[in-house]
Amino acid sequence: MCGIFGYYGRRDATPILVEGLRRLEYRGYDSSGIAVKNNGINIYKKSGKVERLSEMITTEVEGTIGIAHTRWATHGEANDINAHPHLSFDGKVAIVHNGIIENFREVRRNLTQKGVELNSETDSEVLAQLIALELAKGSKPIVAVRRILKRIHGTWGLCAVFSDHDQIIVARNGSPLVIGKGTDETFISSDPHALMEHTQEVYFLEDGDLAEIDHTGFKITRMSGQLSSTEVTVLEEEWGEVELGEYPHFMIKEIHEQAEALRQCIAGRTRHKQGTVKLGGLKLTPAEMRAIPHVRLIGCGTSLHACQIGQIAIEELARVPAVAHVASEFRYNNSVINPKAIHLAVSQSGETADTLSAVKEIQLKGGSVWGIINVVASSIARQCGMGVYIHSGPEQAVASTKAFSNMAASLILFAIQMGRTRSFSAERGRELIDNLHTIPGQIEKYLANPGPIAEAVDAVIGAKSVLFLGRGVSAPVAREGALKLMEIAYIPCMAYPAGEMKHGPIALLEKGSPVVVIAPNDKLKYKTLSNIQECKARGAKIILIHEEGDDELAEEADISIAVPKSEGLLSPLLTVIPTQLIAYQAALKLGHDVDRPRNLAKSVTVE
Ligand code: M6R
């Protein structure tokens, strides 16, 4: 989604800004631009890829102070004019903005009445115009920005440069912004990954923070003008640059990294002798775990599917009620919050606005939220203050793969830890732990010989739609498989719990309709088998993901993809992989940009 990069120092800003934008590209965007201060403010902006922008900057733009942006369109189409930065009517201020100005219509109207002509269709442009009007009254830049933000409703990660002041002013409210401290230079970004090549010393701004950046460094204050308590964080090595290596795309690289990522996720967390798990970041004693009345899991997209697996694992192992919720709905449904309950916010990026808002809502109502997060020190991780890092390592492809597996695995670990305090024996715990430790090796074994993926791809790419079915823990896997194929191959997909198929989607089946069925050899196998028969009776083509050696089931398939045998609850960690491969190969065959699918963003920072 939208990304911000900024530079204040002694070096030429332009190449640093363009490189910063390249590091933000993985997040998804549709236009980009830079503003560099020299005699006045020079702006270059362009729809399309950063490559197009850099081709456009033919003459060297001199200047050591600048801001840059990748835009993911919300208000106004993705064209050159709506791209950021936006320049004020008098040419004295340029801004880049992430977030949404909710009262922008009213503000635009007021500006028009004052004779200010707006150039773009965006909500963001009003910020530049308002700041310019404040500066014209004689306010200093920091005062001008602070004043105008008091009139704005919405969210912002804002950066402004000025033609008449050697300063950058930044502000955060609900949209991440990080300041990186270099030697005699300062960097700004909405994404800490983009700062790693310059510095590891960073300051994550809090909501309500503003910062004044100049030749002396920077000063972070609150909207009230008081000093902010924001402190330095030292970024870990794992946030560093991620290379493709031998792989053509990040998605396939990340699919193959799943085994190692899973090892990292489990490492040091299991206690074999006691048959339990220790997730230190939970900061919960066994007695506290025993007292928990229910668990609610909150996430979006792939993370929601991991939550649905977590729901089943927690109910099965810990015998405590658990429910997975769509974060964007949860936030606004005025949910009843029990302060004794556990709420788990699940997110790869840790920046998803819907999930972050739900976390804040729960906390406002007196509830406690634990983060199940990949990106260390991300907004959700910091907002929760406690939880579990899933340790997938950086995930660059927009389509989430290795994070899904580690989110599901972390939730299963949580279920084992909780279950041991309440319901099952050390022996059962040891069995689960042993089985979990065998999964990474089984993933490697499967990936070495993934079966007839190409045949499955041929069956889905020409289809009007693809139906994914599964029962129990395989129902969320079906949803995840459908989401993956839809988001990168742009094929309409539907996912249903297999038993629900006869209540509606069966109407779509005709001769040759592809149906992907996830059917491990678990207690629900024969139920799923009946649903396979129902599909076959209507001429559907069955692409079956099943357990190795389960010939009884394999015989029913048109295309049969076998994964290694595993304990039922752990089967999603294996059965999901063929669905990822089908999506990847289908998108490739259709000629799509696998890592950066259209319209999507890696980190969705608007509600
Ligand atoms: O960073 P998050 O895990 O919070 O992101 C949630 C969704 O936006 C994300 O999973 C999305 O659905 C992916 N593109 C799926 O591959």
Q: Is 373 in the pocket of ligand 1 (CB under 6 A)?
A: no
Identity of the amino acid at 75: H
pLDDT at 241: 59
CA 488 – CA 483 distance, rounded (Å) = 9
Q: Indicate whether 244 belongs to any domain.
A: no
Do residue 432 and residue 491 come from a single domain?
no
Do residue 402 and residue 486 come from a single domain?
no
pLDDT at 1: 72
Question: Comparing 272-276, 326-330, 500-504, 602-606, which segment has the lowest mean pLDDT?
Answer: 602-606
Q: Is 442 in the pocket of ligand 1 (CB under 6 A)?
A: no
CATH label of the domain that carries residue 436: 3.40.50.10490
Q: Give the whole-number percent of the chain exceeding pLDDT 90.
A: 86
Q: Indicate whether 598 belongs to any domain.
A: no
Q: Write down which residue in 180, 213, 237 finishes a domain.
A: 237
CA 202 – CA 211 distance, rounded (Å) = 13
Q: Is 392 in the pocket of ligand 1 (CB under 6 A)?
A: no
pLDDT at 607: 77
Q: Is 579 in the pocket of ligand 1 (CB under 6 A)?
A: no
Q: Whose CA is nearest to atom 4 of ligand 1?
A: 347
Question: Comparing 16-20, 233-237, 489-493, which segment has the lowest mean pLDDT?
Answer: 233-237
Do residue 271 and residue 355 come from a single domain?
yes
Q: How far is the CA of 308 from the centre of ligand 1 (A)?
A: 14
Confidence of residue 149 (pLDDT cuts 50, 70, 90): very high
pLDDT at 196: 86
Do residue 167 and residue 81 come from a single domain?
yes
Task: Name the strand (E) or helix (H) holding 514.
Answer: strand 514-519
Q: Is 307 in the pocket of ligand 1 (CB under 6 A)?
A: no
Q: Indicate whether 595 belongs to any domain.
A: no
Q: Indicate whether 581 belongs to any domain.
A: yes
Q: Whose CA is nearest to atom 8 of ligand 1?
A: 301
Give the mutation target among 298, 303, 406, 605 for probing the ligand 1 site: most ligand atoms within 8 A of CB. 303
Does the annotation count 535 as an active-site position? no
CA 592 – CA 596 distance, rounded (Å) = 9
Residues 6+ apart with CB under 8 A from 312: 322, 472, 473, 476, 569
pLDDT at 361: 95
Q: How far is the CA of 334 from the centre of ligand 1 (A)?
A: 24
Residues 6+ apart with CB under 8 A from 244: 250, 253
Instruction: Say if residue 578 is exposed, middle or buried (CB neighbours under 10 Å; 0-12, 13-18, 19+).
Output: buried
Query: Is residue 220 a contact partner of residue 230, using CB atoms and an 8 Å limit?
Result: yes
Do residue 435 and residue 466 come from a single domain?
no
Confidence of residue 603 (pLDDT cuts 50, 70, 90): confident
Q: Whose CA is nearest to atom 12 of ligand 1?
A: 301
Q: Is 355 in the pocket of ligand 1 (CB under 6 A)?
A: yes
Do residue 307 and residue 370 come from a single domain?
yes
Listed as own residue / partner, the contacts of 241-247 with beta carbons closer than 8 Å and 24 or more positions apart are: 241/23, 241/196, 241/197, 242/394, 242/396
Mean pLDDT of 522-534: 94
Instruction: Say if residue 110 is exposed, middle or buried (CB neighbours under 10 Å; 0-12, 13-18, 19+).
Output: middle
Does the annotation count 159 as an active-site position? no
The residue among 372, 370, 415, 362 whose CA lies nearest residue 392 is 372
Q: Indicate whether 604 belongs to any domain.
A: no
Do residue 462 and residue 574 come from a single domain?
yes
Give the mutation target among 191, 300, 305 for probing the ligand 1 site: most ligand atoms within 8 A of CB. 300
Give 225-291 as a 3 state SS string. CCECCCCEEECCHHHCCCCCCCCCCHHHHHHHCHHHHHHHHHCCCEECCCCEECCHHHCCCHHHHHC
Domain count, the chain: 3
CATH label of the domain that carries residue 68: 3.60.20.10
Q: Would you state the structure tokens that stand for residue 299, as one six-digit string?
A: 């996430």
- For residue 26, pLDDT over 90 is answered with no
- For residue 275, pLDDT over 60 is answered with yes
Q: In what order do the strands lie in the sheet with 178-181?
A: 40-47, 31-38, 65-71, 3-8, 186-189, 178-181, 201-204, 232-234
Q: Indicate whether 573 belongs to any domain.
A: yes
Q: Whose CA is nearest to atom 10 of ligand 1?
A: 302
In tens, the pLDDT along 345-372 reads: 999 999 999 999 999 999 999 999 999 9
pLDDT at 131: 98
Q: Write down which residue in 209, 237, 265 finishes a domain.
A: 237
Q: Is 401 in the pocket of ligand 1 (CB under 6 A)?
A: no
Q: Is 300 in the pocket of ligand 1 (CB under 6 A)?
A: yes
The residue among 174, 205, 209 whose CA lies nearest residue 192 is 205
Give the mutation target among 193, 348, 379 for probing the ligand 1 site: most ligand atoms within 8 A of CB. 348
Confidence of residue 239 (pLDDT cuts 50, 70, 90): low
Q: In what order do the strands lie in the sheet with 93-98?
A: 86-87, 93-98, 156-162, 168-173, 209-214, 217-222
- For residue 320, pLDDT over 60 is answered with yes
Do residue 267 and residue 398 come from a single domain?
yes
The residue among 499, 508, 582 whose CA lies nearest residue 533 is 499
Q: How far is the CA of 606 from the centre of ligand 1 (A)?
A: 13
In tens, the pLDDT along 505-516 reads: 999 999 999 999
Confidence of residue 78 (pLDDT cuts 50, 70, 90): confident
Confidence of residue 208 (pLDDT cuts 50, 70, 90): very high
Q: Is 302 in the pocket of ligand 1 (CB under 6 A)?
A: yes
Query: Is residue 549 a contact partner of residue 538, using CB atoms and an 8 Å limit?
Result: no
The residue among 254, 342, 359 whose CA lies nearest residue 299 is 359
In tens, the pLDDT along 475-518 reads: 999 999 999 999 999 999 999 999 999 999 999 999 999 999 99
pLDDT at 75: 83
CA 133 – CA 69 distance, rounded (Å) = 23
Angle, helices 301-318 vs 402-422, to 10°: value is 20
Q: How far is the CA of 116 from the centre of ligand 1 (A)?
A: 39
Residues in the chain: 607
- For residue 70, pLDDT over 60 is answered with yes
Q: Is 349 in the pocket of ligand 1 (CB under 6 A)?
A: yes
Range of the domain at 543: 453-589
pLDDT at 376: 85
Task: Annotate 30-76 with DSSP letters as a single string.
Answer: SEEEEEEEESEEEEEEEES-HHHHHHH--S----SEEEEEEE--SSS
Q: Which ligand 1 atom is nearest residue 380's CA? A: 4
Do residue 356 and residue 466 come from a single domain?
no
Confidence of residue 423 (pLDDT cuts 50, 70, 90): confident
Query: Is residue 436 a contact partner of residue 409, using CB atoms and an 8 Å limit?
Result: yes
In tens, the pLDDT along 366-396 reads: 999 999 999 888 889 999 999 999 999 889 9
CA 446 – CA 564 distance, rounded (Å) = 7
Query: Is residue 564 a contact partner of residue 545, using CB atoms and an 8 Å limit?
Result: no
CA 2 – CA 24 distance, rounded (Å) = 9
pLDDT at 62: 86
Q: Write down which residue in 421, 447, 473 finishes a domain.
A: 447
Q: Indicate whether 276 belongs to any domain.
A: yes
Q: Is 390 in the pocket of ligand 1 (CB under 6 A)?
A: no
Query: Is residue 436 a contact partner of residue 266, using CB atoms and an 8 Å limit?
Result: yes
First-to-final CA distance of the chain: 12
Q: How far is the CA of 60 from the centre of ligand 1 (A)?
A: 38
Query: Is residue 11 a contact partner of residue 64, using CB atoms and an 8 Å limit?
Result: yes
Q: Indicate whether 335 belongs to any domain.
A: yes
Mean pLDDT of the chain: 94
Q: Is 301 in the pocket of ligand 1 (CB under 6 A)?
A: yes
Do residue 468 and residue 333 come from a single domain?
no
Do residue 204 and residue 297 come from a single domain?
no
Q: Which ligand 1 atom is nearest residue 300's CA? A: 6
CA 396 – CA 253 distance, rounded (Å) = 10
Give the mutation target among 251, 302, 344, 396 for probing the ligand 1 site: most ligand atoms within 8 A of CB. 302
Q: Which ligand 1 atom is nearest residue 399's CA? A: 16
In tens, the pLDDT along 179-201 reads: 999 999 999 999 888 898 899 99
Q: Which ligand 1 atom is nearest residue 403's CA? A: 3
Q: Whose CA is nearest to atom 9 of ligand 1?
A: 301
In tens, the pLDDT along 281-310 reads: 999 999 999 999 999 999 999 999 999 999
pLDDT at 254: 97
pLDDT at 76: 86
pLDDT at 240: 56
Q: Is 173 in the pocket of ligand 1 (CB under 6 A)?
A: no
Do residue 322 and residue 297 come from a single domain?
yes
